[in-house]
Structure 1
Amino acid sequence: MRYLFVFLFSLLLSRSQAQTLAVTWNANLTQALQQAKATNKPVLAVFSGSDWCKPCIMLKQEVFDQPEFQRYAQDKFVLARFDFPRSKKNKLPAEQTKLNEEAAAQLNKEGSFPLVVLLSPEGKVLAKTGYRPGGPAAYDAYLSQLLAKR
């Protein structure tokens, strides 16, 4: 019984620590750029199809949802996510759909998915990329390389 209690307590503790790592994703490009200017950080904007685009799902699960990426991004980026689900059950509110479409009209005219766009605090496109295998460490290193080139 004692082992069960210790196990459950450690499980609860690890869950609460993982939750504190969660970073905040903006859903409004204008607000993300305002925050970027205020903090002098670049924006990492992600365009995804969360329920139909396999590479989008993989990028989210393998990189963005991982604590290692969240620790990396926390102090380096203002994060913004613009999702375009197709399933009726995942339909976004009309206001959010409009915000996503406005962001796509500015940054994703090609309709690429997934698309990751790095923006300067002033809104200048620094780089565009997508899914890359290798998990959070490889993706973090790649993003750092992209930023170093600018």
Structure 2
Amino acid sequence: MKKIVLTLLLVLGSMTIEAQELTWHTDVNKASEIAIKTKKPLLFFFTGSDWCGWCIRLQKEVFTKPEFATWAKENVVLVDLDFPRRKQLSPELTKQNNELQQMFAVRGYPTVWMVTPTMVDKKVSFEKLGSTGYVAGGPEKWLAGANQILANKK
């Protein structure tokens, strides 16, 4: 019995570690370069990390799960676009996030946009694939919707 419990703890622990190994970029230009090289779309996560209950719930119920980690590593480059209330972001990061918020007409949080970046005259532009937000039902339901959005990729 102890061996079974120990084995389950090890398996669950390794899944948690795998989910934590995801890289969430904050610099959109750097993330765009990676996305262009790897031919993957960007996943923009517009969040209020320290105040938005639905954002925190989306992270807890989906983004920290091993299913999401596996999917994300294969399909997208992750970008965290935070709008915190209690912590201070650098002026450059605040400016970048505000510009993207306006560009994508984000009116509420969480909002997740999937986009394909392209480089035109050393400037990044984005082709919108689709957006989503919090979806009840755990990673399976959220990923099903995300896969439908990615199906719009040319």
Computed over aligned residues only, the root mean square deviation of the Cα atoms, in angstroms, reads 2.5
Are the counterparts in 1 of residues 68 and 139 from structure 2 also a CA contact under 8 Å?
A: yes
The 1:18/1:116 distance shift into structure 2, 3 A limit, reads: same
Are the counterparts in 2 of residues 27 and 99 from structure 1 also a CA contact under 8 Å?
A: no
> 2:96: which partner in 1?
99
1:147 to partner: Cα distance: 1.6
> 2:69: which partner in 1?
70
Q: Secondary structure at the match of 2:85?
A: coil
Tell me the alpha carbon deviations over residues 122-149 of structure 1, each in whole angstroms, 9 at most, x when there is no partner: 3201101111111111111111112224
> 1:23: which partner in 2?
22
Structure 1 length-normalised TM: 0.81
Q: What are the ranges of 5 or more consecutive residues in structure 2 without an aligned counterpart?
A: 119-125
Are the counterparts in 2 of residues 47 and 113 from structure 1 also a CA contact under 8 Å?
A: yes
Q: Secondary structure at the match of 2:89?
A: coil
1:16 to partner: Cα distance: 5.3
The 1:72/1:85 distance shift into structure 2, 3 A limit, reads: same
Residue range with higher mean Cα deviation, 8-17 or 40-49: 8-17
Aligned residues: 145
Structure 2 length-normalised TM: 0.79
Q: Secondary structure at the match of 1:125?
A: strand
> 2:123: which partner in 1?
none
The 1:127/1:96 distance shift into structure 2, 3 A limit, reads: same
The 1:38/1:93 distance shift into structure 2, 3 A limit, reads: same
> 2:127: which partner in 1?
124
Identity %: 38
Please state which structure has a larger fraction of its residues in strand: 2
> 2:110: which partner in 1?
114
Q: What are the ranges of 5 or more consecutive residues in structure 1 without an aligned counterpart?
A: none
The 1:91/1:9 distance shift into structure 2, 3 A limit, reads: farther
